[in-house]
Amino acid sequence: MSVRQVFLAAAAIFALTVATGCSLRVGDQDEVDPVFGTGNRVQWDLTRPLEAKALGLPDDQMEIVTVPDDAIVSLKLPTGTWSGRTEEMTVTTRHGYVDSVDLFWTEANGQAAADRMVADAKLLGVDAAQVAGWAEIAKGVETADTKRRRHDGNYNGSNGRVSTAIKPSMVVGAGTGTPVRLWYLFYVRNVVEKTEPGAR
């Protein structure tokens, strides 16, 4: 191949890359996730704005994080630090800052899910009595005779300027010991907006 042909091929690849917004990676090395990197632990301070660029995240997007085995996430809140395992994680950014962090994992059954939610209730500013009631709700859902496929709960709270939510979900009528999927949401827009120009 002549020098001219090589140049034209390179130019065509460059034009395609620009037009489609794609990036090309040379070699066969696996891409390292910007959140966990090469480890299995994330420690973020949600009491202050987190810049997306500094974390290797896009400015305005929901990013599905590549979660390694035995992943642990620790999030500093205004009155303490929440820490736990996670199986899935998404991070949503807005105007260049982290807007929300969503964590997902599975507990063995309704009682285990209720125990975990109660343990976290005070720190997340959620009503402990309400989440404790999930154990009884789950028992009914396990044996329910209905065409509805899933049953979801929603418990909202807050810790200072960090808004929170706990959302359990389980399959209806799957029998005793049905696993419960937990979704913990940490919403930090109020933390970011407090520091923006003109904020009170």
Q: Is residue 8 part of a domain?
A: no
User: For residues 144 and 194, what is the distance between their CA atoms, to the nearest angstrom?
Assistant: 46
- Does position 194 have pLDDT exceeding 60, yes or no? yes
- Does position 198 have pLDDT exceeding 50, yes or no? no
Q: 3-class DSSP state for residue 1? A: coil
- Does position 161 have pLDDT exceeding 90, yes or no? yes
The kind and range of the H/E element at 37 are: none
Q: Comparing 111 with 193, which gets the higher pLDDT? A: 111
| Number of compact structural domains in the chain | 1
How confident is the model over 35-56, as a mean pLDDT? 94
Burial class of residue 140 in the structure, from the number of CB atoms within 10 Å of its CB (0-12 exposed, 13-18 middle, 19+ buried) = exposed
Q: How far, in Å, are 29, 54, 132, 135, 185 from residue 165 at the CA level? A: 38, 26, 15, 18, 5
pTM for the predicted model, two decimal places: 0.80
Q: Is residue 114 part of a domain?
A: yes
Burial class of residue 189 in the structure, from the number of CB atoms within 10 Å of its CB (0-12 exposed, 13-18 middle, 19+ buried) = middle
Dihedral sign, Cα of residue 61, residue 46, residue 50, residue 189: positive
With CA atoms as reference, report the closest residue to 57 among 94, 107, 110, 3: 94
Q: Is residue 50 part of a domain?
A: yes
Burial class of residue 10 in the structure, from the number of CB atoms within 10 Å of its CB (0-12 exposed, 13-18 middle, 19+ buried) = exposed
| Distance between first and last Cα of the chain | 64
pLDDT for 195: 58
Residue for token digits 């709700």?
137
Q: Specify which residues 106 forms β-bridges with.
A: 181
| Length of the chain measured in residues | 200
Where do the DSSP E strands lie in 22-96?
41-45, 62-64, 72-77, 80-85, 88-94
pLDDT in tens, 121-145: 999 999 999 999 999 999 999 988 8
pLDDT band at 34 (very low <50, low <70, confident <90, very high): confident
pLDDT for 2: 54
pLDDT band at 8 (very low <50, low <70, confident <90, very high): very low
Q: Is residue 177 part of a domain?
A: yes
pLDDT band at 190 (very low <50, low <70, confident <90, very high): very high
Domain interval for residue 115 = 41-195
Q: Is residue 4 part of a domain?
A: no
